Amino acid sequence: MVISLRKFLLLREEFNKKGKKVVFTNGCFDIIHLGHLRYLSRAKELGDILTVAVNTDSSIRKFKERNRPIVGEKERAGLVDGLKPVDYVILFKEETPKKIIEKIKPDVLVKGADYKINQIVGADFVKSIGGDVKRIKMTPGVSTTEIIEKIKKLD
Protein backbone atom coordinates (compact mmCIF):
# COMPACT_ATOMS: atom_id res chain seq x y z
CA MET A 1 0.00 0.00 0.00
CA VAL A 2 1.34 3.43 -0.94
CA ILE A 3 0.78 5.50 2.19
CA SER A 4 1.73 8.83 3.71
CA LEU A 5 4.28 8.93 6.50
CA ARG A 6 1.64 10.34 8.84
CA LYS A 7 -0.69 7.38 8.22
CA PHE A 8 2.14 4.89 8.50
CA LEU A 9 3.14 6.28 11.91
CA LEU A 10 -0.39 5.53 13.18
CA LEU A 11 -0.02 1.94 11.92
CA ARG A 12 3.45 1.75 13.46
CA GLU A 13 1.89 2.15 16.91
CA GLU A 14 -0.33 -0.88 16.19
CA PHE A 15 2.64 -2.91 14.93
CA ASN A 16 4.47 -2.14 18.19
CA LYS A 17 1.51 -3.29 20.28
CA LYS A 18 1.32 -6.54 18.31
CA GLY A 19 5.08 -7.16 18.54
CA LYS A 20 5.54 -6.91 14.77
CA LYS A 21 9.09 -6.32 13.53
CA VAL A 22 9.30 -3.45 11.02
CA VAL A 23 11.97 -3.64 8.33
CA PHE A 24 12.86 -0.45 6.46
CA THR A 25 14.76 0.18 3.26
CA ASN A 26 14.83 2.93 0.70
CA GLY A 27 15.86 3.66 -2.85
CA CYS A 28 15.02 5.12 -6.24
CA PHE A 29 13.72 1.90 -7.84
CA ASP A 30 13.83 3.69 -11.18
CA ILE A 31 13.61 0.68 -13.50
CA ILE A 32 12.37 -2.34 -11.56
CA HIS A 33 14.46 -5.46 -12.23
CA LEU A 34 15.23 -8.90 -10.78
CA GLY A 35 17.90 -7.46 -8.48
CA HIS A 36 15.27 -5.26 -6.81
CA LEU A 37 12.91 -8.19 -6.32
CA ARG A 38 15.61 -10.41 -4.82
CA TYR A 39 16.80 -7.59 -2.54
CA LEU A 40 13.29 -6.84 -1.28
CA SER A 41 12.53 -10.54 -0.79
CA ARG A 42 15.62 -10.91 1.39
CA ALA A 43 14.72 -7.76 3.32
CA LYS A 44 11.21 -9.11 4.00
CA GLU A 45 12.72 -12.26 5.52
CA LEU A 46 14.24 -10.09 8.29
CA GLY A 47 10.90 -9.13 9.85
CA ASP A 48 7.13 -8.93 9.61
CA ILE A 49 6.42 -5.60 7.89
CA LEU A 50 8.56 -4.41 4.97
CA THR A 51 8.37 -0.67 4.46
CA VAL A 52 10.09 0.87 1.45
CA ALA A 53 10.75 4.60 1.16
CA VAL A 54 10.94 5.61 -2.50
CA ASN A 55 12.68 8.83 -3.53
CA THR A 56 10.50 11.43 -5.24
CA ASP A 57 11.58 12.66 -8.67
CA SER A 58 12.90 15.91 -7.21
CA SER A 59 15.07 14.12 -4.65
CA ILE A 60 16.56 11.83 -7.32
CA ARG A 61 17.54 14.82 -9.44
CA LYS A 62 19.71 16.03 -6.55
CA PHE A 63 22.12 13.08 -6.78
CA LYS A 64 21.62 11.14 -10.04
CA GLU A 65 22.51 12.08 -13.61
CA ARG A 66 20.38 14.73 -15.31
CA ASN A 67 17.99 12.41 -17.18
CA ARG A 68 16.88 10.47 -14.12
CA PRO A 69 14.50 9.25 -13.04
CA ILE A 70 13.35 7.42 -16.13
CA VAL A 71 10.05 6.42 -14.49
CA GLY A 72 7.99 8.95 -12.51
CA GLU A 73 7.58 8.73 -8.73
CA LYS A 74 3.91 7.66 -8.69
CA GLU A 75 4.59 4.87 -11.19
CA ARG A 76 7.72 3.75 -9.30
CA ALA A 77 5.84 3.73 -5.98
CA GLY A 78 3.03 1.72 -7.59
CA LEU A 79 5.47 -0.80 -9.06
CA VAL A 80 7.31 -1.27 -5.76
CA ASP A 81 3.98 -1.61 -3.98
CA GLY A 82 2.99 -4.37 -6.40
CA LEU A 83 5.97 -6.52 -5.46
CA LYS A 84 4.95 -9.42 -3.22
CA PRO A 85 7.45 -8.81 -0.37
CA VAL A 86 6.49 -5.13 0.09
CA ASP A 87 3.87 -4.15 2.65
CA TYR A 88 4.08 -0.32 2.58
CA VAL A 89 5.61 2.31 0.31
CA ILE A 90 6.23 5.88 1.41
CA LEU A 91 7.44 8.58 -0.99
CA PHE A 92 10.04 10.93 0.45
CA LYS A 93 11.41 14.17 -0.98
CA GLU A 94 14.56 14.64 1.07
CA GLU A 95 17.94 13.69 -0.37
CA THR A 96 18.41 11.08 2.37
CA PRO A 97 15.89 9.06 4.41
CA LYS A 98 17.37 10.24 7.76
CA LYS A 99 14.22 12.05 8.95
CA ILE A 100 11.84 9.27 7.93
CA ILE A 101 14.03 6.65 9.65
CA GLU A 102 14.05 8.69 12.86
CA LYS A 103 10.25 8.95 12.78
CA ILE A 104 9.51 5.32 11.85
CA LYS A 105 12.13 3.85 14.23
CA PRO A 106 12.51 0.60 12.28
CA ASP A 107 13.51 -2.58 14.05
CA VAL A 108 15.72 -3.46 11.10
CA LEU A 109 17.34 -1.05 8.63
CA VAL A 110 18.45 -2.66 5.36
CA LYS A 111 20.71 -1.50 2.53
CA GLY A 112 22.69 -3.24 -0.18
CA ALA A 113 26.05 -4.79 0.63
CA ASP A 114 27.62 -2.24 -1.71
CA TYR A 115 27.30 0.17 1.26
CA LYS A 116 29.62 -0.02 4.25
CA ILE A 117 27.80 0.18 7.60
CA ASN A 118 29.23 3.66 8.24
CA GLN A 119 27.79 4.82 4.88
CA ILE A 120 24.24 3.74 5.66
CA VAL A 121 22.11 6.76 6.53
CA GLY A 122 20.34 6.17 9.83
CA ALA A 123 22.47 3.19 10.90
CA ASP A 124 23.78 4.86 14.06
CA PHE A 125 20.27 5.96 15.02
CA VAL A 126 18.73 2.50 14.49
CA LYS A 127 21.50 0.86 16.53
CA SER A 128 21.04 3.46 19.29
CA ILE A 129 17.38 2.43 19.73
CA GLY A 130 18.26 -1.27 19.82
CA GLY A 131 17.55 -2.08 16.18
CA ASP A 132 19.62 -4.04 13.67
CA VAL A 133 21.33 -2.83 10.52
CA LYS A 134 21.70 -5.44 7.77
CA ARG A 135 23.46 -5.39 4.43
CA ILE A 136 22.09 -7.58 1.63
CA LYS A 137 24.25 -8.93 -1.17
CA MET A 138 23.23 -7.46 -4.49
CA THR A 139 22.48 -9.55 -7.59
CA PRO A 140 25.57 -9.28 -9.80
CA GLY A 141 25.19 -7.85 -13.29
CA VAL A 142 21.74 -6.40 -12.65
CA SER A 143 21.26 -2.69 -12.01
CA THR A 144 19.26 0.21 -13.38
CA THR A 145 22.48 1.84 -14.61
CA GLU A 146 23.46 -1.33 -16.49
CA ILE A 147 20.00 -1.55 -18.06
CA ILE A 148 20.21 2.09 -19.18
CA GLU A 149 23.66 1.45 -20.70
CA LYS A 150 22.31 -1.55 -22.63
CA ILE A 151 19.45 0.56 -23.99
CA LYS A 152 21.87 3.31 -25.07
CA LYS A 153 23.86 0.74 -27.08
CA LEU A 154 20.74 -0.23 -29.07
CA ASP A 155 21.05 2.89 -31.25
Q: Which CATH number fits the domain that encloses residue 92?
A: 3.40.50.620
> HSE (CB half, 13 Å, CA atoms) of 62?
11
Confidence (pLDDT) at 141: 87
Confidence (pLDDT) at 66: 76
Please say whether the beta carbons of 2 and 77 come within 8 A: yes
pLDDT digits (tens, 9 = 90+) for 54-105: 999 999 988 887 788 999 999 999 999 999 999 999 999 999 999 999 999 9
pLDDT > 90: percent of the chain: 86
Q: For residue 41, what are the domain limits?
A: 5-152
Give the H or E element holding residue 17.
Answer: helix 5-17
Residue type, 54: V
> HSE (CB half, 13 Å, CA atoms) of 14?
6
Q: What is the rounded distance in angstroms from the CA atom of residue 91 to the CA atom of residue 130? A: 25
Please say whether the beta carbons of 87 and 81 come within 8 A: no
Confidence (pLDDT) at 114: 93
Structural domain tally of the chain? 1
